[in-house]
Amino acid sequence: MLTLHHLNDSRSQRIIWLLEELGAPYDLKTYQRDAQTRLAPPELDAVHPLGKSPVIVDGDVTIAESAAVVDYIIRRYGKGAMRPAEGTTEYEAYLEWLHYAEGSAMLPLMLNLYVSRLKEAGAPLQPRIDSEMARHLGYADRALKGRAFFVGDNLTGADIQMSFVAEVAGSFNRLKAYPDLAAWIGRMHARPAFQRSVEKGGAYRLAK
């Protein structure tokens, strides 16, 4: 059985959501961040050298990168669901969103998190970070104009991946300027599988 190593307030929450959407069998092992440092506990180092989450272990397979985890689970357990057919233009768009979430969109959001902790020392960097956050959140918002999902007419792994972008942006109170993105994450929150994932993995309490 697939085992998901889940860290609270982390990207692994969306993997619980994915597994719940698919109805795939899995074992959940949970870990808690240090209350002071917010770092993952050393026990995760024994699972994967990076000591990060999500990590899945499925037989001889161990994967730690979010997009690779989403792709593997959908290919292995999706039975054709939650991704467009290969060879279609929608499939190429799906792959782009799958990798865009962490490859581009999360960078300014994470910079905002770390630089904000520097207070006055980080002030010179803030205008550029704000500009980049606006660029990426605006891009995602425009992509959702008149659409229920990022790709096609049904939930895909692209929505799973992009959810953490919206969660972090919301923790910074940045979603008000992006109504389509805000409405989309609201619809995701209303899904029964998402609500089950919160019950099992805990609600986000992202540091502001």
| pLDDT of 202 over the 90 cut | no
User: Is residue 8 within 8 Å of 201, Cβ to Cβ?
Assistant: yes
Where is pLDDT greater, at 77 or 9?
77
Query: In whole angstroms, what is the distance from residue 18 CA to residue 24 CA?
Result: 9
Task: Give the pLDDT confidence of 89-115 residue by residue, as tens digits.
Answer: 999 999 999 999 999 999 999 999 889
Q: Which residues of 74-112 are buried (b: 16+ CB within 10 A; e: fewer)?
A: beebbeeebbbeeeeebbebbbebbbbbbeebbebbebb
Task: Give the pTM.
Answer: 0.93
| pLDDT of 35 over the 90 cut | no
Average pLDDT along the chain: 94
Least confident among 46-60, 94-108, 135-149, 184-198: 46-60
Question: Can you list the alpha helix ranges (DSSP code H) found in 61-102?
Answer: 66-77, 89-100
When computed from its CA atoms, the radius of gyration of the chain, rounded to whole angstroms, is 17
CATH code, residues 89-191: 1.20.1050.10
* Tokens (6 digits) for 20: 């719940």
Query: In whole angstroms, what is the distance from residue 91 CA to residue 151 CA?
Result: 8
Domain ranges of the chain: 2-82+194-201, 89-191
Where is pLDDT greater, at 193 or 44?
193
User: Is residue 176 within 8 Å of 184, Cβ to Cβ?
Assistant: no
Instruction: Say what the pLDDT of residue 40 is.
Output: 86
With bands split at pLDDT 50, 70 and 90, how would you rate the model's confidence at 144? very high
CATH code, residues 2-82+194-201: 3.40.30.10
Instruction: Say what the pLDDT of residue 207 is.
Output: 55
